[in-house]
Each structure stands twice: as structure tokens, then as C-alpha cells.
């Protein structure tokens, strides 16, 4: 419910991606008399950045379809869009924001409530040559259009990708589908190592190799230089790789500089500090999305987890509270999934090392399980890793790798729901899950994993 006494008529949102547009839509939905303006740094409001690799791959042929809503659809909701406008300074005392348009003209926008949804920016590691022609980052729609144009027009035969996180893996898939020979340069000892444990990472690496992607581990890239028509990537140990294009996708960091200059308190990894109502320390100023800290339900603490699903939820809450609501963010359990060629890779909750760092006493079990009854054609084997607390039996986390048609996302969501409600591993067996031989088993793979964990737990006298 809205507090009529708190309702303000001028809501200004900085940022036009998931959190920003979500906030604007919610504000207009609950307070249709409010004047909502969204300042968008580019010309692509409410585009799915997560869909960029699938446009580059050709699986999504028209980049316009990546828009969750068109400009016209957003404006029909009564939202004013200031496209190609950059917010330069926030004056919290005057309740105004200085913005600059593409022509360089500046003006002041007044607000009663401000929502900062500036998202994240790519991490730029200390590598010489990142500004060379043929070197790309993948973060915005403009980035994706540049890469797609280069692949289409120049038809490169080879590419080096620096980084093996979500975007690195998805772009390795995308470029391979376009006929480009990909070399994946991994800083650590395994791919996707911040998301899943080593054994599941090995399954991902095997899938990459099966599709012709060369995986180079334990390399620290230090420079990129041009040699004729090729780019040469050099790193430690003393090695060099030649490629016709290079992608640097080394992760993201919060885009919080604008907020910090205005006096907004900054927390973990440089993210904006907010409470569960998405309020900052400044009166009448909210923040949401990839620029803010996120409350984690399992650890009961804040962390930095930039995800689109989280940004949508936080933006909706910020928009509601900006027009007089009292809603709180329920927190996340860190649920993520990515498709890599024919594999789906998913995780939720804590890995064992993360659980130890959070003060738990974790115990993990790893096992294979069929996605449906093996006698029905095209059954796929899933590799699961389940982590629970030794003392309490509480579920702490799960990881799954399997065929992308093996309902991996559905099953990680079951674990996520259990984590959200603080269930024990054993309690998963009480869930009334669906079953038919083409799609599952009487005991779903999730429950078979729970039973394997419980047996191992008992066998150790725990």
C-alpha cells in the first residue's frame, strides 16, 4: 500500500536498463499521477544485455527483438525518456541532476525522488593495447553491434577471448557458431571457477574442447599489439597468441562514481550501500541494480552479485517506495544459469569454500543422475553437487551441469526455492514434484541428490 502523505509527483531515474525501467514502470503503475523521467545514456532503453551473445551468434537475427519493450511502449506508460543523455552531477540539496545530451548541451532536471540505476561497467585489466582496432569489449548494445558488424564484414578466422566468466563462455559459443576459431585465455586454473567447483568446470572445459575451442589456463595477459593484419596477445608465462580479433570480458564493477560524488555511501566492492527498501544514506535517494550491494539470504549479509533478475526485482521495489510504498527486498540466494554449446551450467547458494568463509561447516556430495527415466529415448545425464551444513543438515547450495534440454534450470530453481525458505537437504524429499517418464522420475534428480547427501552424511556419523 502507498502512503498518500509520502507520495511525490516528480520521480527521476538515472539509468535505462533492467532496474531503471522496472522502477519507472512500477512508480507509474502505483502512482499514475506521478511525472516519471528516465535518463538513458544511450539510445537503447530496456534492452536485454544478456541476449547480446545470441545476437552475435546469429541465433537471434534481429537485434531490435532484444528490447524488453520498445521506446513507444515505454512512453505509452506515461514515462518520459531522455535518450542519449548522461547524468553529470547530482545535487541532493537542490534535488536536481545536471544532464548533458549528445550535442553537449546541459540542463538541470529537478526531482522529488531520485532512483540511481547506473548499472555496472566492464573491468579493464592492466593490459596494453585494449584500445587497438580489432579489440572489443562486450557490455552494451553498441558493443554488440560493433562485434557483429566486424564478424559479418571482416569474416575473421580466429579470435582470442580474455576471460572465462559468463560472457566469455557465451561469446566463445557465439563466435564458434559463426565459423571463428576461438582461443579462450583463462587467468586461473579452470573455466567458470568463480561460479562452480573444479569438477563441474572440467565438464565445461570438455564441452568447449569438443566444439573446437582452445582453452589456455593459468595465463596472465599483459599486452596486445598489432602485427600486420593480426593481433598478438602476450602473457605470462612467456607465450603469444595470434588472432584477427580480441574480446576482453574480464568481468564488471559497480558504476557508482556519480553517486559517490554526491555523497552516497559506498560499500562492498565499490557498490552503493542500500537498505532493504533500496534507500541510500541520502534522503529521497534510492538505488537499484548492478550498481548496488545485494542482501544474501543464506549468509544474512550483503555482497555484490550483479544479475539481471536481481536488478528487475530491486528496481521494482525502488520504484514502489519512491512513490510512498513500504516494500522490502527479500534478498537473493545467488541463482545463476548459463548455456555453453549443448551444456547448461547452473548454481545456487554457496559452494563449499564460500560456505566455510561464511562460518558454516559444509559437507558436499557429487553424483550423476538422469534427467528422466533412462528407458525413454534421449535421456541425459546430469552432474550435480550438493552442499549442506554438517551440524544442522541445512541446504547451503547446489550446482548442476547437464544437457541444455535436461531441465537444468528447472532443477536449480527447486534448490533455490528450498534455500530461500531455509530448508534442510532431507526436506527436499518431501516436495511434491511432477513426474512423467519423458520428463523425470518418481524421485526427481534433485531428490536423488538429496538422498545421496543424506546417506553420505549418515555414513560419516554426522
Residue 237 banded pLDDT, cuts 50, 70, 90: confident
Q: Given pLDDT bands bounded at 50, 70 and 90, which one contains residue 188?
A: confident
What percentage of the chain has pLDDT greater than the value 90? 92
| Tens-digit pLDDT profile for residues 379-410 | 999 999 999 999 999 999 999 999 999 999 99
Active-site residue set: 50
Is the pLDDT reported for residue 112 higher than 90?
A: yes
Distances (CA, A) of 84 to 14, 39, 307, 444: 12, 8, 24, 50
The pTM score is 0.94
Average pLDDT over residues 120-146: 93
Which domains are seen in the chain, by residue range?
Answer: 10-50+60-120+253-322 (3.50.50.60), 135-250 (3.50.50.60), 344-459 (3.30.390.30)
pLDDT digits (tens, 9 = 90+) for 273-318: 999 999 999 999 999 999 999 999 999 999 999 999 999 999 999 9
User: Which residues neighbour 228 within 8 Å (Cβ) at sequence distance 6 or greater?
Assistant: none
pLDDT band at 460, cuts 50/70/90? confident
pLDDT at 462: 60
Burial of 191 (0-12, 13-18, 19+ CB in 10 A): buried
pLDDT value at 70 more than 80: yes
Q: What is the mean pLDDT of the chain?
A: 95
The pLDDT of residue 407: 96
Average pLDDT over residues 237-255: 93
Average pLDDT estimate for 212-225:
95
How far CA 265 is from CA of 165, 207, 268, 274, 334, in Å, comes to 29, 43, 10, 8, 24
Contacts of 27 (CB under 8 A, 6+ apart): 11, 34, 36, 319, 320, 322, 323
- In the prediction, which pLDDT does 1 show? 46
Query: Helix 166-177 vs helix 198-210: angle between axes, to the nearest 10 degrees?
Result: 20
Residue 326 has pLDDT above 70, yes or no: yes
Mean pLDDT, to the nearest integer, of 345-357? Answer: 97
* Residue bearing the bigger pLDDT, 120 or 8: 120
Residue 6 has pLDDT above 60, yes or no: no
Amino acid at each position: 500500500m502507498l502512503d498518500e502523505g509520502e507520495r511525490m509527483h516528480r520521480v527521476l531515474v538515472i539509468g535505462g536498463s533492467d532496474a531503471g525501467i522496472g522502477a519507472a514502470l512500477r512508480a507509474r503503475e502505483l502512482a499514475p499521477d506521478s511525472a516519471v523521467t528516465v535518463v538513458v545514456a544511450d539510445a537503447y532503453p530496456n534492452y536485454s544485455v544478456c541476449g547480446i551473445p545470441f545476437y552475435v551468434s546469429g541465433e537471434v537475427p534481429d537485434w531490435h527483438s532484444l528490447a524488453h519493450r520498445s521506446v513507444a511502449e515505454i512512453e505509452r506508460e506515461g514515462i518520459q525518456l531522455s535518450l542519449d543523455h548522461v547524468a553529470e552531477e547530482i545535487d541532493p540539496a537542490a534535488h536536481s541532476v545536471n544532464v548533458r545530451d549528445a550535442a553537449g548541451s546541459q540542463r538541470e532536471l529537478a526531482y522529488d525522488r531520485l532512483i540511481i540505476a547506473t548499472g555496472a561497467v566492464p573491468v579493464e585489466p592492466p593490459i596494453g593495447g585494449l584500445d587497438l582496432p580489432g579489440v572489443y569489449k562486450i557490455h552494451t548494445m553498441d558493443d554488440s553491434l560493433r562485434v557483429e558488424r566486424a564478424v559479418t564484414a571482416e569474416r575473421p578466422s580466429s579470435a582470442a577471448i580474455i576471460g572465462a566468466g559468463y560472457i566469455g563462455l557465451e561469446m566463445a559459443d557465439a563466435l564458434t557458431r559463426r565459423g571463428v576459431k576461438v582461443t579462450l585465455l583463462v587467468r586461473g586454473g579452470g573455466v567458470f571457477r568463480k561460479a562452480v567447483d573444479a569438477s563441474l568446470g572440467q565438464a565445461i572445459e570438455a564441452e568447449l574442447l569438443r566444439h573446437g575451442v582452445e582453452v589456455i589456463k593459468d595465463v596472465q595477459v599483459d599486452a596486445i599489439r598489432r602485427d600486420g593484419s593480426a593481433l598478438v596477445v602476450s602473457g605470462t608465462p612467456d607465450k603469444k597468441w595470434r588472432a584477427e580479433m580480441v574480446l576482453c570480458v574480464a568481468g564488471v564493477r559497480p558504476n557508482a562514481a556519480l553517486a559517490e560524488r554526491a555523497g552516497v555511501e559506498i560499500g562492498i566492492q565499490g557498490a552503493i550501500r542500500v537498505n532493504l527498501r533500496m534507500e541510500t544514506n541520502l534522503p529521497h535517494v534510492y538505488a537499484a541494480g548492478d550498481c548496488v550491494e545485494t542482501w544474501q539470504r543464506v549468509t544474512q549479509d550483503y555482497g555484490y552479485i550483479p544479475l539481471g533478475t536481481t536488478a528487475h526485482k530491486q528496481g521494482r521495489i525502488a520504484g514502489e517506495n519512491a512513490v510512498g510504498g513500504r516494500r522490502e527486498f527479500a534478498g537473493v540466494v545467488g541463482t545463476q544459469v548459463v548455456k555453453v554449446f549443448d551444456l547448461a551450467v547452473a548454481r545456487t547458494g554457496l559452494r563449499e569454500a564460500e560456505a566455510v568463509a561464511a562460518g558454516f561447516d559444509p559437507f558436499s556430495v557429487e553424483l550423476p543422475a538422469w534427467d528422466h527415466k533412462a528407458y525413454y529415448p534421449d535421456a541425459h545425464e546430469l552432474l550435480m553437487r550438493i552442499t549442506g551444513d554438517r551440524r544442522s543438515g541445512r541446504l547451503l547450495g547446489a550446482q548442476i551441469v547437464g544437457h541444455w534440454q535436461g531441465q537444468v534450470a528447472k532443477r536449480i530453481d527447486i534448490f533455490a526455492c528450498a534455500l530461500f525458505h531455509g530448508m534442510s537437504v532431507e526436506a527436499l524429499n518431501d516436495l511434491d514434484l511432477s513426474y512423467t517418464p519423458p520428463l523425470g522420475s518418481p524421485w526427481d534428480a534433485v531428490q536423488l541428490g538429496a538422498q545421496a547427501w543424506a546417506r553420505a552424511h549418515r555414513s560419516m556419523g554426522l
